[in-house]
Structure 1
Amino acid sequence: MHADVHLTLHHLRAAELRREAAGPHRPRRQLRIRTNLRTRLGWSLVELGLRLVNRPVARTRTHLA
């Protein structure tokens, strides 16, 4: 995982834990926005992985002298 993505996810999770520790009252709308962001990020990473796996391998020609 790229370092920037890892750091962003860490910050999101830390903020989530702080909110949970502060109290049980959390607006549902914010929860949905965060969940949607995580879902979109997750599927984007899956798509990127599939593109990397399905990328054609460049064949190099070896010359025997």
Structure 2
Amino acid sequence: MHPESHLILHHARAAELHAATRARRQAADAGRAGELRARLGWTLVEVGLRLATAPQPALAHA
């Protein structure tokens, strides 16, 4: 094989690897953002439920 053909194949493979790495990083970043969004959402649900339920009056002991 000619050196130029090796170089062309190397550049093509490097571009594929860079694209795959970029896609994985974007997926990981989206996953972290989604995890944070879910955690925040459930925290807001918990706070809303606490606010929505009326506190029960304490029972007096006889």
Which consecutive unaligned segments of at least 5 residues does structure 2 have? Answer: 50-62
**Matched positions, count:** 39
User: Does residue 54 in structure 1 map to residue 29 in structure 2?
Assistant: yes
Comparing both structures, which one devotes a greater share of its residues to helix? 2
Which consecutive unaligned segments of at least 5 residues does structure 1 have? Answer: 1-25
Runs of 4+ with deviation above 2 angstroms: 58-62
The one-character-per-residue Cα deviations of 1:7-64 (angstroms, maximum 9, x if unpaired) are: xxxxxxxxxxxxxxxxxxx1000000000000000011000000000012053666x7
- RMSD (Å), alpha carbons: 1.9
The equivalent of 2:19 in structure 1 is 44
Greater Rg by CA? 2
| Identical positions, percent | 8
User: Bigger relative contact order, structure 1 or 2, given CA contacts below 8 A and separation 6+?
Assistant: 1
